[in-house]
Structure formats: C-alpha cells, structure tokens
Structure 1
Amino acid sequence: MAGTEHLTVRREGATLVLTLNRPESRNALSLPMLVGLYDAWLEADADDGVRSVVLTGAGGSFCAGMDLKALAGAGMEAGGYRDRLKADPDLHWKAMLRHHRPRKPVVAAVEGPCVAGGTEILQGTDIRVAGESAVFGLFEVRRGLFPIGGSTVRLQRQIPRTHALEMLLTGRPYTASEAQRIGLVGSVVPDGTALERALDIAGRINACGPLAVEAVKASVYETAEMTESEGLAAELSRGWPIFDTADAKEGARAFAEKRDPEYRRA
C-alpha cells in the first residue's frame, strides 16, 4: 500500500483514506507528501476493490499550502524522492490533481486551514465536506505570487466568476459557511466530524454499481466544456453500455427481490 512519512494510507472497506500527515506544519505540502499522494492516486485507480477515496489531514488541519523550506531542505534525497521528481517532472502537478483526475470519486474532509495549495488541491476533488471552523483561501497575490496550481482556470468553473475573482484577487480568508454559500464546499458539519461525514458519503457511493459510478463521473467532467448537443451525444456513448452490464441486471434483480445488490464490476 502506498504511503510515506508525510502521507498515510489506509483502507476502510472499499474506501481508500489518504491523510496528509505533517500536523506540526499544518500539513503543508512537502516532497514526501506529494510523492505519497501521486502513488496513492495510482493505487486507487489500479485497485478495482477501491470504489472511493477520502482525502483528509491530520491534527485538525487540511493543508496550509506549499512548504518551500521542506522542498528545498536536506534529507529528502535519502528516500529517493528527488529521484522520483527528476524522473517525472510533472509528478507534483499530478499529486495535486492538476494534471491527473482519479477515476474513482474523491471526497474531501476538511478541518482547519485549507489555504493556498490546500484550496488548489480541493478543486481537484469531487465532493467536499468541511468542519465549521475550516478556513479557505488563495493567499498568493498577497505575497506577490500566482496560484499556479490551476485556480485561475478551475475556480471560475466551479463557483460563480465574481466569487472566484474576489477570492483570487483579494487573497482573503473564507469561513466554511462562506465557502458553502458560494459553492466551494457542499456540506458544513460540526468540527471534528468532517471525516465521519465524508466516510458516510463514500460508503453510499461504494454501495452503488462501480461501473456506473465511474462512467457517471467521467461523463460529468468530459462534457463540462461541450455544447449541450455534444454533451448529450457523449453521455449516450458512456451511458448506454452500462445498461448491458451484469451489474445493471443485478441491480434490477436486487430491487425486485428487495435485497442489497452484489456488484461484481462486470
């Protein structure tokens, strides 16, 4: 199973739980964390037993963004992390979900700070739950920097443009309730319960037909920038084959027999 000293991985049923694990640094991104994330996304894609992924952070924080000192610091070479980055210069962008989209649904469970690179990774997730005290924001412009993790492209496609521009151009923090109001997160729950809610959502996903779930997710993203007519045609090309699967027949039988379906990804 994937994982590094800054990224823990565990299985909870059919859910792969990824935990950013540098609580002393509010889970700021480091090279071991990025390598661990990339390997975990690949593991989730390759393992048909994994039906969903939950991404969270240790110690009451989600992610405070990039830790430049950690990326430049000594001691990382011993673990082969720099060799990994040298072999694949795009690895960090894949880890941050800028250049990689997992085929399994990804649910984010956010507690505490989720800022800068944290908010950028968040935009690569599919469903988002936040604790009441979570804080969001893209602070880069306040430091004369650019949010190069994809936010100037993705944010305006996920929330209204006026809100996206305010977040990008002011660099101010947003509360969880504000983030929910503008559509950046879907649910706000009592502090300390975001992971519980995320696992509940993941469990509901896991109970559905895995081929159908993956096809639905792929169709949503594939058709996002198409015209309506193009999108409807693409939807049919992905959707019709699902009706011919054994899983689809099992779902209908289970409904008729008043029992839980047993999907076999077939």
Structure 2
Amino acid sequence: MDGTEHLTLRREGATLVLTLDRPEARNALSLPMLIGLHDGWLEADADDTVRSVVLTGAGGAFCSGMDLKALAGEGMAGREHRERLAADPDLHWKAMLRHHRPRKPVIAAVEGACVAGGTEILQGTDIRIAGESAVFGLYEVRRGLFPIGGSTVRLPRQIPRTHALEMLLTGRPYPAREAAAIGLIGHVVPDGTALDKALETAERINACGPLAVEAVKASVYETAGMTETDGLAAELRRGWPVFDTADAREGARAFAEKRPPVYRRA
C-alpha cells in the first residue's frame, strides 16, 4: 500500500481507507492523486481481505475539483506519473470512478468542499456521509465548462431530474442538509465525524458475508437500466449461486448457534 504524494492508503481492519491528501489545495485533483486513486481501487478489488473501502479527504475538505493548472502541463509532478497516464489514457476516468466500478462497497466520508470533480467522484460511490458544513455542487457551467466526469448521465439517475438539472445548470453550491434532502447523500453528521460514521458503516458491511455483499452490489448496478422483468431474471442469476456457498451455510449455522459467523469467501 504505497499511495502517492497526494493519495494515502491505510487499513482499518477489513476496510481500505483512501485519503485525498493535498489539503493546501483543498484536495484538488492532481495527476499523482489520480494515479493513487486508480491504484487504490485496483488494490481493493484484488485483495480479498478488503471487504469495504472508505474515500475521504485530508485537512477538512473532500475535493474541490480538478486542478486545471496542475493538469495543464508544468504542474504535473514527475516523469513516472506522466508515463503512467501516457500508457493508459483512460487512467483518470478509472480513478474518478467514471470507467471503473469497484466490486467492494465504497463509502464516501465528506467534510468541507466536495464540488465540481469532487461531486463527480461522489456519484461513483455507494454510500455517502457528510459533515453538516460540507458543500456540494457542480460548478463547471459557471466557468464555461462541461461536467464531463459523468454527471449529466449519472446525476439524473441518482436524484430527481428537476434537482439534477438545477444543480447542473445553475452551478450553485448545495449545503449538506439540502444535498441530503434531494438524495445526493445519505447521512449528515456533526462536523469532524464523517469518517467515524463511515468506518462504523464499513464495519457493519464487513461483518456480513462478502460474497453476498459483492453480489448484491453487482445486482443493483447491473439491473439499473433493465426492465423490471429483465432485472428480476438477472437478479436470480446473481442471487441463487450465493445460496450454494459455504458462507451461506455458515450464516445459517451461526444464527442457529447464536454466535457471530466466520465467513471465508467460499
């Protein structure tokens, strides 16, 4: 778990914590940060001991969006980072969860600014928790830009269209309470406690059967664009194999024996 100069990784039990770590720039996206995110998602996918992921930011902010100066050329740190991007021109989209969906649940712990590219990354997460002073918004149109991280597609599928269009077309900030009211985030907690709440939620997930958790997440996203009939058929294809696992038998046995289950991904 190496991370980069702008992205740190650490383990909290079965949870991998990814921290956007450029507080002097309110965690604006840089090339080292994007590379660290990309590698963190892949590490979580590859490591079966990781059961959940928490994404957060350092220094009282989540992410203030893309650092256009840093990504324009001279601000890009290090030949190694530039070579990584040249080798995979899609790397930044995978890092921002536009072209990659982790198979483990991803929980966002938001404090402070979560705007522009921050709100775009947020839409690739599964569960979202924010401190009460957090601020959200897609500011791109105010700068004559397009929110090309996926927001014109994802946002109307995640919140009511009228709210999505207002957010996209006005570029105005949304305080945490309003973001929760329109369904963009799920929990508002006292400032400074979003990470604690996210880790608590992750622990609840980690206590569940990992094969079941991953199959449930996959089914939700796989069936999102299907008709109800097709979605229900796809759900059976995902769900029935879970019942035929040793973990499913262990869950039932542990319930009968009144003890915590010991899941082995089998």
Which TM-score tier does this pair reach, normalised by the shorter chain? Answer: over 0.9
Q: Partner amino acid for 2:143?
A: R
Distance 2:93 2:240 in 1: 33
The CA deviation string for residues 197-247 of structure 1, in whole angstroms up to 9 with x for no partner, is 000000000000000000000000000010000000000000000000000
CA contact (8 A) 2:32 2:77 kept: no
Determine the C-alpha separation between the residues in 1 that align with 2:78 and 2:180.
42
Query: 1:1-266 maps to which residues of 2 (within 5 A)?
Result: 1-74=1-74, 76=76, 78-266=78-266
Counterpart CA distance in 2 for 1:77 and 1:171 is 30
TM-score where L is the length of structure 2? 0.99
Distance in 2 between residues matched to 1:21 and 1:61, nearest whole Å = 10
Q: Are the structure 2 counterparts of residues 183 and 55 from structure 1 closer, same or farther at C-alpha, using a change threshold of 3 Å? A: same
Out of 69-78 and 255-264, give the one that drifted further.
Answer: 69-78
Shift of 1:71: 1.6
Identity among equivalent positions (%) equals 84
Distance 1:73 1:158, change over 3 A: same
Matched to 1:44, the amino acid is A
**Partners of 2:79 and 2:187 in 1: CA distance:** 38
Contact kept in structure 2, 1:123 and 1:154, CA below 8 Å: yes
- How far does residue 74 in structure 1 lie from its aligned partner after superposition? 3.3
Q: CA RMSD in A?
A: 0.8
Q: Secondary structure at the match of 1:80?
A: helix
CA distance in 2, matches of 1:14, 1:157: 30
Amino acid at match of 1:140: E
Flag as ranges the 4+ runs of structure 1 deviating above 4 A.
Answer: none
Q: How far, CA to CA, are the matches of 1:184 and 1:72 in structure 2?
A: 30
Q: CA deviation at 1:2?
A: 3.8
CA distance in 2, matches of 1:230, 1:65: 37
What amino acid does structure 1 have at the position aligned with 2:199?
L
**Mind listing any 5+ residue stretches in structure 1 that lack a counterpart?**
none
Q: Counterparts of 1:9 and 1:70 in 2: how far apart (Å)? A: 22
Q: What is the CA–CA distance in structure 2 between the aligned matches of 1:130 and 1:47, rounded to whole Å?
A: 27
Task: Spell out, residue by residue over 1:55-87, the C-alpha distance to the aligned partner (whole angstroms, 9 max, x if none).
Answer: 000000000000011123536453500000000
Cα offsets for 1:162-187 (capped at 9, x unmatched): 00000000000000000000000000
Q: Distance in 2 between matches of 1:168 and 1:62?
A: 20
Cα deviation for residue 4 of structure 1 reads: 0.2
Cα displacement (A) at 1:144: 0.7
Q: Distance in 2 between matches of 1:173 and 1:106?
A: 24
Check the 8 A contact 1:2/1:39 in 2, yes or no. Answer: no
Distance 2:91 2:182 in 1: 31
Q: Which amino acid in the other structure matches residue 47 of structure 1?
A: D
Q: Relative to structure 2, which stretch is displaced further, 235-244 or 67-76?
A: 67-76
Which whole-Å deviations, capped at 9, do the CAs of 1:82-128 have from their partners, x for residues lacking one?
A: 00000000000000000000000000000000000000000000000
Say which SS state the counterpart of residue 233 (structure 1) adopts: helix
SS at the partner of 2:65? coil
Question: What is the aligned residue count?
Answer: 266
Structure 2 residue runs of 5 or longer lacking an equivalent are none
